[in-house]
Structure 1
Amino acid sequence: MTERPRGRPRAFDRDRAVLEAARLFWRHGYSGTSTRTLTATLGLSTSSLYAAFGSKAGLFEEAVRTYAERYREIYQQAVAEKDIRTVIERILTDSVHEFTQPSDAHPGCLISSAVMTDSTSTLDTSTHVAELHNANEQALLVRIERAVQDGELAAGTNATDLTGLIQSLWHGLSVRSNADTSRESLLATARLAHRLICRQLASPTS
């Protein structure tokens, strides 16, 4: 009797595993995603999943940090721009591009996903994301305050109110991206908002 050749086991791709897990978590929340569903989707045994990530919570934490930290990068790169108008434009449009990455390489926006309304006893994702938002908002506020001091924006511009407006737009774009609004539509909205903000805040000496 001839022994049947065994197929080669699928190579473990950590990045792909985190992406696929993130899709499940974003769609169903942490508690709504079972370990059995994860192992079936990732093609891993339970022991292999635990060996790679420590636990379901460990995989969840890696997914959150992998995809949430990109927003910090967007803000850091934007506030480094010399012109405040470019700062605002980049925050809005670069974020839209991030929200609408091709689905084969990105799980969608974490911020307005199911996982943000979920609660777990193993990982306080809401706290991590809130800290991330606060850091981004503070970086933007500091940059706008500098723009007012330097005369880039009209005297009397309220930096706190402007920061709040931009953050509200950002969150709205995030929610719409998860509702399958097209990239083109979101970019059109972001660019219109940018033009209206810049028109309102134009310095009379510019």
Structure 2
Amino acid sequence: MSTKARGRPRGFDRDRALETAMAMFWRHGYDGTSVADLTRAMGIAAPSLYAAFGSKQELYRESLQLYVRTLGRLGVANLGSAASARDGVHAVLRAAAEAFTRPGFPPGCMVGIGSLRCAEDNRVAEEATTELRSATHAMLLARLRQAQADGELPESADPTAMADLYAAVLEGMSVVATDGATRTRLLATADLAMAGWPSPGPAAR
């Protein structure tokens, strides 16, 4: 029997334990969730947690990855398959409005609020969430640059500034959701954010 296996109680379900940890970190943040809180919620002892996940830091990173794969999917990776960049970005914002107000789950986005709920000198949450936010920004920017190359955006448009804007809207929606903003309000925000979308450039000759 391996060292990792010895520390776990009979019936230990790693996937379920990870889901529990995700919910704890999402609601209370990295610093606001202690190892004691985690083991109590999971129904396991601390040695079992370390045997299964290595450390609290690694458990947090795995929890973030689980969130991104499941509850945090906003369709950003599918921007390239949208009928237009505008339709794709609009769909992402509206998906965020629904995801951030999902009944039965903490409000907001686990990635978006992760670094807001950690101590100033704690780099674990900040680095992990920054990496994921940067990936979202990169996908937005790539789609907007392609839209400009295709003539959907005029040459005068600034894809980088637009990516900054819509990434900031996503982050802001997450924050106000944690403050109690309703789904209706967030959907209205998503729709209004599209009002500044530049008119298409002239048709290609």
- TM-score class, shorter-chain normalisation, is 0.7 to 0.9
1:148, CA displacement in angstroms? 1.6
Q: Which stretches in structure 2 are left out of the alignment for 5+ residues?
A: 1-8
2:170 alignment counterpart: 170
> In 2, distance between residues paired with 1:111 and 1:44?
26
Q: Which stretches in structure 1 are left out of the alignment for 5+ residues?
A: 1-8
In the alignment, is residue 187 of structure 1 matched against residue 187 of structure 2? yes
Identity across matched positions, percent: 34
Q: Which has the larger radius of gyration?
A: 1
Question: RMSD over aligned Cα, in angstroms?
Answer: 3.0
> In 2, distance between residues paired with 1:180 and 1:11?
38
Q: Deviations over 1:151-174 (max 9, x none)?
A: 112341121222221112111111
> In 2, distance between residues paired with 1:142 and 1:54?
36
**Number of equivalences:** 194
* Counterpart code for 1:203: P
1:28, CA displacement in angstroms? 3.4
2:5 alignment counterpart: none
1:141 alignment counterpart: 141
- Larger relative contact order (C-alpha < 8 A, sep ≥ 6)? 1
* Counterpart code for 2:42: L
> In 1, distance between residues paired with 2:77 and 2:157?
22
The question of whether the paired residues in 1 share the 8 Å contact of 2:107 and 2:178 is answered with no
2:19 alignment counterpart: 19
Cα 1:79/1:64, change in 2 over 3 Å: same
Q: TM-score, normalised by structure 2?
A: 0.77
The question of whether the paired residues in 2 share the 8 Å contact of 1:110 and 1:116 is answered with no
Cα 1:174/1:74, change in 2 over 3 Å: same
Cα 1:30/1:171, change in 2 over 3 Å: closer
> In 2, distance between residues paired with 1:162 and 1:176?
21
